[in-house]
Chain A
Amino acid sequence: AQSVTQPDIHITVSEGASLELRCNYSYGATPYLFWYVQSPGQGLQLLLKYFSGDTLVQGIKGFEAEFKRSQSSFNLRKPSVHWSDAAEYFCAVGGVAGGYNKLIFGAGTRLAVHP
């Protein structure tokens, strides 16, 4: 079955510290992979995506993610966290099967940033 696992429900880091949010997926074909961020009361904003090619992808706001096929992972990283990064982060997997991209989301990781 297709699924996405985000093992960490809550993470707290200090401002300026590095960050890694974990994402593991199960998908029957080559997946499309996404990270979205949701601030309180807001919709989902796309941070970055992976379709093919270079397995290290750069996104907005200084985030990057690395696709590791052997580990079925797509972890999100940022070298130095800012207080404004406090939000909920969702990993999603999809693929254009049946002619469209039906996204399957992980449960999300809520990030808190200490000053």
Chain B
Amino acid sequence: GAGVSQSPSNKVTEKGKDVELRCDPISGHTALYWYRQSLGQGLEFLIYFQGNSAPDKSGLPSDRFSAERTGGSVSTLTIQRTQQEDSAVYLCASSTDRGETQYFGPGTRLLVL
């Protein structure tokens, strides 16, 4: 079956612009995670969604970052007023509701000029 998909694969934007990154989880997976991979910080947890429960947003680095998950499937990560330090690869993962193993998408490489 299909794995986790993310779009776009690459995004170049200007400082101050808003960007939206999309994640399609594996069909049937109820849990969805966003991580950020950057040179200085490695792989960092951003946010977690599970079903209809309130998401865990504890990893979001600032209030410029937000995410939603519509219909318990597709998720969008939005970064407002992008800054150069937001340049990174944004990875999405999904898992079953037990959550032991996360399967990752190919990532979106974001470059803020």
Cβ of A90 < 8 Å from any Cβ of B? Answer: yes
User: Are A100 and B56 interface neighbours, CB within 8 A?
Assistant: yes
Given contacts A100-B56, A100-B99, A101-B95, contact A43 B104 (CB under 8 A): yes
Cβ of B25 < 8 Å from any Cβ of A? Answer: no
Cβ of A46 < 8 Å from any Cβ of B? Answer: yes
Comparing B13-21, B40-48, B66-74, B80-88, the segment that makes contact with chain A is B40-48
User: What B residues does A46 contact at CB under 8 A?
Assistant: 101, 103-104
Chain B interface mostly: strand
Within 8 A of B (CB), among A71-112: 90, 92, 96, 98-108
Cβ of A63 < 8 Å from any Cβ of B? Answer: no
Within 8 A of A (CB), among B14-36: 31, 33, 35
User: What B residues does A42 contact at CB under 8 A?
Assistant: 106-107
Identity of the chain A residue whose Cβ is nearest the Cβ of B6 in the assembled complex: A43
User: Are B106 and A101 interface neighbours, CB within 8 A?
Assistant: no
What 0/1 pattern do residues 52 to 90 of B give for CB contact below 8 A with A?
000010000000000000000000000000000000000
Instruction: Kindly state the interface size class of chain B when it binds its partner.
Output: 20 to 34
Q: How far does the alpha carbon of A78 sit from the alpha carbon of B108 in the complex, in Å? A: 30
User: Are A100 and B31 interface neighbours, CB within 8 A?
Assistant: yes
* Number of A-B contacts defined by CB within 8 Å: 57
What 0/1 pattern do residues 11 to 46 of A give for CB contact below 8 A with B?
000000000000000000000101010000111111
The residue that A103 contacts in the complex, of B4, B102, B107, with Cβ under 8 A, is B102
Given contacts A49-B100, A51-B100, A98-B56, contact A103 B45 (CB under 8 A): yes
B residues near A (Cβ < 8 Å) are: 4, 6, 31, 33, 35, 42-43, 45, 48, 50, 56, 91, 93, 95, 98-107, 109
A residues near B (Cβ < 8 Å) are: 32, 34, 36, 41-46, 49, 51, 90, 92, 96, 98-108
